[in-house]
Amino acid sequence: MADGIEPERLSDRLRDLILSGTDETEVLLERTQTRVVRFETAPVHERRHARPAEAARLRRGDGTGFDRLNWEAAARQQPGPGDVEIKVEAIGLNFRDVMFGLGLLPEEILEHGFAGPTLGLECAGRVERVGAAVKLFKPGDRVMAFAKSAFATHVTTPAAVVAPIPRDLAMETAATIPVAFLTAYHGLMICARLKPGEWVLIHGGAGGVGLAAIQIARWRGARVIATAGSPERRTLLASLGAEHVFDSRSGAFIEDVRSVTGEGVAVVLNSLAGEAMERSIGVLRPFGRFVELGKRDYVANTHIGLRPFRRNLSYFGVDLDQLLIDEPATSKLLMRSVMRLFASGDLAPLPYRAFDAAETGEAFRQMQASGHVGKLVVRPPRPADVCVRHRRAFQVAPDKMHVITGGFGGFGLETAKWLAAKGARNLMLIGRSGAASSEASEAVASLTAQGVRVRAEALDIADLPALTRLFARFGRDLPALGGIIHAAMVLDDSLVQNITGERMERVLRPKVAGADNLDQLTRGLKLDYFVMYSSATTLIGNPGQAAYVAANGYMEGLARRRRRAGLPALAIAWGAIEDVGVLARAEGTRDALLARAGIKGMLAQDALRLMGDALAAPAGDIDDAVVAIAPIKWGAARRHLKVLESSAYAKLSGQDEAAAETGDKIDVAALLAGSSPDEARKTISDLIVDEIARVLRLPREDVGRATPLAEIGLDSLMAVELALGLEQRFTLNAPLSTSASSFSVNELVDHIIGLATGALSEDQALKQAMVDRHLAGATVAEIDEEQVMEKVRTMKGVLH
Ligand SMILES: NC(=O)c1ccc[n+]([C@@H]2O[C@H](COP(=O)([O-])OP(=O)(O)OC[C@H]3O[C@@H](n4cnc5c(N)ncnc54)[C@H](OP(=O)(O)O)[C@@H]3O)[C@@H](O)[C@H]2O)c1
Whole-number Å distance, alpha carbon 487 to ligand 1 midpoint, is 5
What are the pLDDT digits (tens) for 128-148?
A: 999 999 999 999 999 999 999
**What is the residue with the minimal CA distance to atom 11 of ligand 1?**
487
- Nearest-atom index, ligand 1, CA of 486: 45
Which residues, 6+ apart, have CB-to-CB distance to 404 below 8 Å?
A: 412, 415, 416, 419, 427, 428, 429, 430, 484, 485, 487
Looking at mean pLDDT, say which of 364-368, 515-519, 717-721 comes out highest.
Answer: 515-519
Question: What was the pLDDT predicted at 707?
Answer: 80
Over range 64-86, report the average pLDDT: 86
**pLDDT at site 423:** 93
Residue to probe by mutation, ligand 1, list 415, 428, 432, 511, most atoms within 8 Å of CB: 432
Confidence of residue 1 (pLDDT cuts 50, 70, 90): low
User: pLDDT digit string (tens) for 303-323?
Assistant: 888 888 999 999 999 988 889
Q: What is the pLDDT of residue 462?
A: 97
DSSP symbols for 402-454: EEEETTTSHHHHHHHHHHHHTT--EEEEEETT-S-SHHHHHHHHHHHHTT-EE
pLDDT of residue 661: 40
Question: How much of the chain exceeds pLDDT 70, in percent?
Answer: 86
pLDDT for the residue numbered 797: 31
Backbone angles phi, psi at 221, to 5 degrees: 90, 15
Minimum mean pLDDT range among 356-360, 605-609, 652-656: 652-656
What residue's CA is closest to ligand 1, atom 42?
409
Distance between Cα 491 and ligand 1 center (Å)? 8
Atom of ligand 1 nearest to the CA of 583: 3
Give pLDDT, residue 289: 97
409 vs 731, residue with greater confidence? 409
- Our CA dihedral for 632, 634, 637, 638, rounded to 10 degrees, sits at 160
Counting from 1 in the atom list of ligand 1, the atom nearest the Cα of 548 is: 47
Average pLDDT, whole number, for the chain? 84
pLDDT of residue 39: 82
3-class DSSP state for residue 59?
Answer: strand
* Atom 39 in ligand 1: residue holding the nearest Cα: 432
d(CA 649, ligand 1 centre) in Å: 28
- Expressed in angstroms, the distance from the first to the final Cα of the chain is 65
Average pLDDT over residues 468-480: 97
Find out whether 200 and 194 touch, Cβ atoms under 8 Å. Answer: yes
Q: By mean pLDDT, which of 240-244, 278-282, 678-682 is the weakest? A: 678-682
Q: Whose CA is nearest to atom 25 of ligand 1?
A: 406
Atom of ligand 1 nearest to the CA of 514: 31
Phi/psi at 485 (nearest 5 deg)? -120, 115
- Which of 403, 408, 411 best tests ligand 1's pocket when mutated (most atoms within 8 Å of CB)? 411
Ligand 1 centre distance from Cα of residue 490 (Å): 6
Residue 155 has pLDDT above 70, yes or no: yes
**pLDDT reading at 733 higher than 80:** no
Distance between CA 338 and CA 181 in Å, rounded?
A: 7
DSSP H stretches of helix in 308-384:
320-326, 328-343, 360-368
pLDDT tens sequence across 522-571: 999 999 999 999 999 898 887 788 999 999 999 999 999 999 999 999 99
Q: Residue 581 Cα, ligand 1 centroid: separation in angstroms?
A: 8
Residue 716's pLDDT band, with cuts at 50, 70 and 90, is: low
For residues 405 and 773, the model is more confident at: 405
Name the pLDDT band for 450 (thresholds 50, 70, 90).
very high
- Nearest atom in ligand 1 to the alpha carbon of residue 590 is 3
Expressed in angstroms and rounded, the spacing between residue 650 Cα and the centre of ligand 1 is: 32
**What tens digit of pLDDT does each residue of 21-43 get?**
887 878 888 877 888 888 876 65
- Ligand 1 centroid–CA 489 distance in Å is 4
What mean pLDDT is predicted for residues 410-438? 96
Higher pLDDT pick, 760 / 100? 100
Mean pLDDT of 433-444: 94
**What average pLDDT does the segment 224-235 reach?**
87
Among 489, 491, 511, the mutation site with the greatest number of ligand 1 atoms within 8 A of its Cβ is: 489
639: nearest Cα among 684, 669, 602: 684
Atom of ligand 1 nearest to the CA of 433: 40
More confident residue, 587 or 190: 190
Ligand 1 centre and the CA of 493: distance in Å?
A: 14
**SS3 label, residue 158:** strand
pLDDT of residue 655: 41
CA of 472 to the centre of ligand 1 (A): 24
Q: Give distance in angstroms: CA of 486 to centre of ligand 1.
A: 9
Model confidence band, residue 427 (pLDDT cutoffs 50, 70, 90): very high
Q: Which whole number is the average pLDDT over 709-718?
A: 74
Angstrom distance (rounded) from CA 497 to CA 114: 72
Picking from 244, 245, 249, 286, the residue whose alpha carbon sits closest to that of residue 264 is 286
Atom of ligand 1 nearest to the CA of 460: 32
Higher pLDDT, 453 or 235: 453
**Dihedral-angle region of residue 541 (phi above 0 means left; psi in -120 to 50 means alpha; beta otherwise):** left
Answer yes or no: are the C-beta atoms of 66 and 50 closer than 8 Å: no
Q: How confident is the model at residue 181 (pLDDT cuts 50, 70, 90)?
A: very high
The yes-or-no verdict on residue 780 having pLDDT over 50 is no
* Ligand 1 lining (C-beta closer than 6 Å): 405-406, 408-412, 430-433, 460-462, 487-490, 509-510, 514, 533, 535, 574, 576-577, 581-583
632-683 pLDDT per residue, tens: 877 667 766 777 878 888 777 544 444 444 445 678 888 888 778 888 888 8
- What mean pLDDT comes out for the span 155-160? 94
Q: Which of 188, 254, 268, 215 is nearest to 374 (CA)?
A: 215
How many other C-beta atoms lie within 10 A of the C-beta of residue 780? 20
Rounded distance, CA 218 to CA 767, Å? 47
Contact 661, 65 (CB under 8 A): yes
pLDDT of residue 639: 65
What pLDDT sits at residue 391? Answer: 54
With contact defined as beta carbons under 8 Å apart, do 181 and 347 qualify? yes
Work out the percent of the chain whose per-residue pLDDT is above 90. 46
pLDDT of residue 535: 95
**What does the pLDDT read at residue 101?**
86
Instruction: State residue 442's pLDDT score.
Output: 95
Residue whose CB lies within 8 A of the most ligand 1 atoms, among 582, 591, 605, for a mutation test: 582
Q: Which residue has the higher pLDDT, 384 or 487?
A: 487
629 C-alpha vs ligand 1 centroid, how far in Å?
Answer: 17
Cα separation of 443 and 42, whole Å? Answer: 34
- Expressed in angstroms and rounded, the spacing between residue 404 Cα and the centre of ligand 1 is 10
Q: Which helix (H) or strand (E) holds 60?
A: strand 55-60
Q: What is the largest CA-CA distance in the chain?
A: 103
* Residues 6+ away with beta carbon under 8 Å from 516: 558
The residue count for the chain = 800
